Amino acid sequence: MSSDVSPLRPEPLAAAPHYYGGQAVIEGVMMRGADRWAVAVRRPAGDIWLECHAVSDLPQRRPILGKPLVRGCYALADSLAVGMRALGISATQAFDDEDGEEELGGGAIGASLLVALLLFVGIFIFLPSAGTKAVDALVGGHLGDGVWFHLVESFVRIVIFLGYLWSISLLADIRRVFQYHGAEHKTIAAWEHGETLEPETVDRYSTLHVRCGTNFLIMVMLLAVVIYTLAGVLVPPPEGAGLLVSILYHVALRVVLLPVVAGLAYEGLRLGAAKGEHPLVRALMQPGLWLQRITTKPPTRDQIEVAIRSFEAVVPAELREGRVPHTLDSPVVLARDGLPVTLSDADVRVDGAPAVTPDRGTDPADAPFDEG
């Protein structure tokens, strides 16, 4: 059920001084707070695995990472690293781990990010450029390397992007991920509007949210039209360059400018969060909200419960006073090597320890470990 609360409305700063974010994972949700991130996963037995880790303090130690444009590139890289780790945790916990499969290590995460980057460049940069150039060469080379080439190539890129999202949304497993994506958005929206995080209350809010990563991606696609066109016209390929050289030149130029595009898209996302009621900002954010109708789906109560537990783990205890849920009944298992987590009215145990039902305000991480 969607509410009549606009997903563009700014959050009440007194209730939420930090812009919380998150990501859907396999059978779960990752939430990110000011100094920690947590991932909650529904396991086959019906309980919820909850794991919490510290957020990197590198931006505090390297102030340049907080500067406009630079902060967007860092935020993207950091979000990808955390998201990949959260996906690894969810993949381990969401399925029966009969083979003793380990979580992704640092090297595996780095390799996965490299593969993801190469796939992105191949599908969304090389394919549109090479395809547009090749087809243009077959029909007589009317586009050349001018404005029309860049506009047609950008249109092809957006069509590929939309087609990719639409096609994966037809897969049953991806649809469940998109439901958890909707649960993430509903939970954050309910918190930002001062609600107590009970599933019935959370479910009244929209699955659409202005700070969604989908908004970021569509902003990247739209900004790329302008930036790549301007750069391609101002700095064209060498005169007399053949087809292959021209393709490689355009691909290289786009890869070099990708951090600029990502940095500007991030600044646009921040603008949308801070000035969401301004008519111009609303218009700029609208394409991303339309696209979220593909990437988010209405969640079930069980999925909302997972999102709430993940969110509860990243909100400081003093801000949760009077707003924590009391009707969640799924047992929670905390990771042994994660940060301590305080939950309200939960049947909690640390992995490898006997179950305990803590009093409200008790840190379940104090549950005894099974040293055997």
The residue-averaged pLDDT of 279-297 equals 90
The residue-averaged pLDDT of 23-28 equals 96
Give the list of residues 6+ apart from residue 41 with CB closer than 8 angstroms, or none: 25, 26, 27, 28, 48, 49, 89, 90, 93, 94, 306
The residue-averaged pLDDT of 185-201 equals 94
Q: What is the pLDDT of residue 369?
A: 32
> Ramachandran region of residue 238, left (φ > 0), alpha (ψ -120 to 50) or beta?
beta
Range in 115-119, 162-166, 226-230, 300-304 the model is least confident about? 115-119
What is the band of 16 on the pLDDT scale with cuts at 50, 70, 90? Answer: very low
Q: What is the pLDDT of residue 361?
A: 43
What is the band of 240 on the pLDDT scale with cuts at 50, 70, 90? Answer: confident
pLDDT in tens, 64-84: 998 988 998 998 889 989 999
Of residues 242 and 311, more confidently modeled: 311
**What percentage of the chain carries pLDDT values higher than 90?**
58
Q: Does residue 272 register a pLDDT over 90?
A: no
Containing 50, the helix (H) or strand (E) segment is: strand 48-54
Give the chain's mean pLDDT.
85
As a whole number of angstroms, the distance between CA 340 and CA 230 comes to 50
Give CA separation, 214 vs 24, 163, 210, 349, in Å: 12, 14, 9, 35
As a whole number of angstroms, the distance between CA 78 and CA 56 comes to 8
Q: What amino acid is encoded at 136 in this protein?
A: D
Query: In this structure, how many other beta carbons lie within 10 angstroms of the beta carbon of residue 136?
Result: 19
The residue-averaged pLDDT of 25-31 equals 97
Give the list of residues 6+ apart from residue 6 with CB closer than 8 angstroms, or none: 206, 276
DSSP strand pairing (48-54 vs 36-42): antiparallel
Q: What is the pLDDT of residue 238?
A: 87
Residue 24: beta bridge partners? 29
Q: Does residue 299 register a pLDDT over 50?
A: yes
The residue-averaged pLDDT of 285-300 equals 94
